[in-house]
């Protein structure tokens, strides 16, 4: 059964192919994903690598945790399930139920 690893401290410039190739030194890599910011489209500096066996995953942890990769020190450990988050309040956006906003009009100007 495949084992998913969390990989933190990734260089922002690293591509998924390079990450997969790096972890292939420890065994068979099933998948490699770098998490991207939705707004900017840039890397968030972490991702997940799935190794084909638990033994290969442990090998990857011992090989790469606290080791430098392209100038940054990696954090590698077994991925944990994502915890449930509480629902957002007030629409979770800009203003929610606020009556504020952008005025406009002739504020402070005289018309002749």
Residue numbers of the domain that contains 38: 3-78
Number of domains in the chain: 1
Looking at the domain assignment, is residue 105 inside a domain?
Answer: no
Q: Give the pLDDT confidence score for residue 5 in this predicted structure.
A: 97
Looking at the domain assignment, is residue 31 inside a domain?
Answer: yes
For 20-37, write each residue's pLDDT tens digit: 999 999 999 999 999 999
CATH number of the domain where residue 8 is located:
3.30.70.330
Looking at the domain assignment, is residue 99 inside a domain?
Answer: no
Q: Give the pLDDT confidence score for residue 19 in this predicted structure.
A: 96
Looking at the domain assignment, is residue 109 inside a domain?
Answer: no
pTM of the full structure: 0.73
| Tokens found for residue 74 | 């990696």
36 phi, psi to nearest 5 deg: -110, 150
Q: Give the pLDDT confidence score for residue 83 in this predicted structure.
A: 83
Looking at the domain assignment, is residue 55 inside a domain?
Answer: yes
> Could you tell me if 12 and 41 are in contact, meaning their C-beta atoms sit under 8 angstroms apart?
no
For 53-111, write each residue's pLDDT tens digit: 999 999 999 999 999 999 999 999 999 888 888 887 765 555 555 555 565 556 666 66
Looking at the domain assignment, is residue 86 inside a domain?
Answer: no
Looking at the domain assignment, is residue 62 inside a domain?
Answer: yes
Looking at the domain assignment, is residue 85 inside a domain?
Answer: no
């Amino acid at each position: 059964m495949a084992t998913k690893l969390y990989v933190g401290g990734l260089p922002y410039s690293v591509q998924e192919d390079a990450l997969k190739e790096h972890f292939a030194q420890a065994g068979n890599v099933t998948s490699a994903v770098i998490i991207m910011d939705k707004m900017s489209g840039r890397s968030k500096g972490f991702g997940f690598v799935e190794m084909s066996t638990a033994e290969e995953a442990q090998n990857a942890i011992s090989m790469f945790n606290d080791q430098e990769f392209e100038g940054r020190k990696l954090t590698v450990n077994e991925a944990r399930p994502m915890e449930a988050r509480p629902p957002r309040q007030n629409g979770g956006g800009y203003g929610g139920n606020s009556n504020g906003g952008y005025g406009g009009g002739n504020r402070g100007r005289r018309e002749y």
